[in-house]
Structure 1
Amino acid sequence: MNNSRVQVVKNEILSDNWYTLRKVTFNYLRKDGIWETQSREAYDRGNGATILLHNPEKNTVILTRQFRMPTYVNGNATGLLIEACAGLLDNDNPEDAIRRETEEETGFVVTNIRKVFEAYMSPGSVTEKLYFFTAVYSDTTEKRVGGGIDEEDIDVLELSLPQAIQMIAQGEIADGKTIMLLQHLYIQQMSAA
């Protein structure tokens, strides 16, 4: 991370409770040649991975529903959010991490994982980069005990892709990573048609 336009002056930890919140004071060389001192806070929770499970024969997807406190605080009356399976890397590589999360959250054991892209989800305040994956599942895909593990209180949903796309338009699916994966799959299908 050597950038000749950035000189870090001070790096303070404001909170290290759940994850790390830092305040960074730095000098930044603007494109007009003037150095400017700025301060920004950045929340570091580590990188993560997310996956959309798709059954091409039935054109269905597997999503999860769970309580998310920040959405509740921001006006989501129930706090429940429908999402693609996801989790932090926890020192694993992205593919191993998403295999683990898929089994824990959905119960599905998938082997044909395909990385589709990477994205910073909220680069103005959060350091997290997400690795996006897809995988095929079927009625015969191995399932293990998991799927809605008790400590996370997760519901596993199987929805048709058209229904999931409609739920985005109706505001029933409002999670960014999930919308990105569903739209990616939808575009892939439209391109193949």
Structure 2
Amino acid sequence: MNTPGLDLPDARGRTGLDRAGRDLTGNPAVVVRDVELLAAAWHVLRRTTYDFRRRDGRWTTEQRETYDRGDGATVLLFDPRRRTVLLTRQFRFPVYVNGHPDGMFLETAAGLLDGDDPAAAIRREAAEELGVTIGELIEVFRPWTSPGSVTERLHCFAAPYSVESRTGEGGGLADEGEDIEAVELPFDKALAMIDSGEIADAKTIMLLQWAALKGALDSDR
């Protein structure tokens, strides 16, 4: 049987999407038995069956579904002279359907790598979403943000910006359905918005707290 994403190219030209994980050897307590492709309309949903040796020595058979959308990158843009940060605001349907009042989410500029290295990807996203040309780029950390179900690893950066570095219009790519507003906030207000719940995005919270802990916006740095 010819199936898109398996033996036939899918809409993105991919085949063999059921091969991921079959050759893993790093953990002798895990033996992958089967990988099923459940969906590949854009990103990839798989169900993997594997044997797992528990701490007491017993082997059990487990199944897990994983959502593979590729790795991503994000950046906290900060102006140390004016003590401001530059964020995006855009509609996010997944948070809207899960209880966010209106789905209009404040967050750091971000996007998938799409074949680029992380630094190149986040420079691209900062230009597309916020119209900022990034100079110095600080690599902060690379967490997995939802390790129970999503494979994505997020490359988190910080970068200074200024009025002069805002060289483009931003707003995102209209042909990808993006409609992004640039929101400049005093750093202290952004921190307070974590407590108020107005900023509820995990990557943005982590990067704002990193900036506070490291004194990234302190004038004497």
Fold shared, TM-score > 0.5 on shorter chain: yes
Residue in structure 1 matching 2:208, options 175, 179, 182 = 182
- Gapped regions of structure 2 (runs ≥ 5): 1-23
Q: CA deviation at 1:149?
A: 4.5
CA distance in 2, matches of 1:63, 1:89: 19
Q: CA deviation at 1:17?
A: 1.2
Q: Which amino acid aligns with 2:182?
A: V
Show the 5 A alignment for 1:1-193: 1-2=24-25, 3-150=27-174, 151-189=177-215
Q: CA deviation at 1:138?
A: 1.1
Q: Which amino acid aligns with 2:206?
A: M
Cα separation, partners in 2 of 1:116 and 1:39, compared to 1, 3 Å: same
* 1:64-109 deviations in Å (ceiling 9; x for gaps): 0000010011011211100000000001110000000000000000
Aligned residues: 193
- Gapped regions of structure 1 (runs ≥ 5): none
Q: CA deviation at 1:152?
A: 0.6
**Kept in 1: contact 2:170–2:180 (CA 8 A):** no
Larger Rg: 2
- TM-score w.r.t. the length of structure 2 is 0.83
**Kept in 2: contact 1:66–1:154 (CA 8 A):** yes
Q: CA deviation at 1:34?
A: 1.1
Q: CA deviation at 1:145?
A: 3.4
CA distance in 2, matches of 1:163, 1:148: 25
User: What is the alpha-carbon root mean square deviation over aligned residues?
Assistant: 1.6
CA distance in 2, matches of 1:139, 1:53: 12
- TM-score w.r.t. the length of structure 1 is 0.95
Cα separation, partners in 2 of 1:24 and 1:9, compared to 1, 3 Å: same
**Kept in 2: contact 1:46–1:89 (CA 8 A):** yes
**Kept in 1: contact 2:171–2:180 (CA 8 A):** yes
CA distance in 2, matches of 1:137, 1:120: 26
Q: Which has the higher contact order (CA 8 A, sep 6+)?
A: 1
Local SS of the residue matching 1:125: coil
Q: Which amino acid aligns with 2:76?
A: L
- Identity over the aligned pairs, expressed in percent? 48
CA distance in 2, matches of 1:46, 1:149: 19
**Kept in 2: contact 1:148–1:156 (CA 8 A):** no
Local SS of the residue matching 1:120: coil
Moved over 2 A (4+): 145-151
Q: CA deviation at 1:147?
A: 3.8
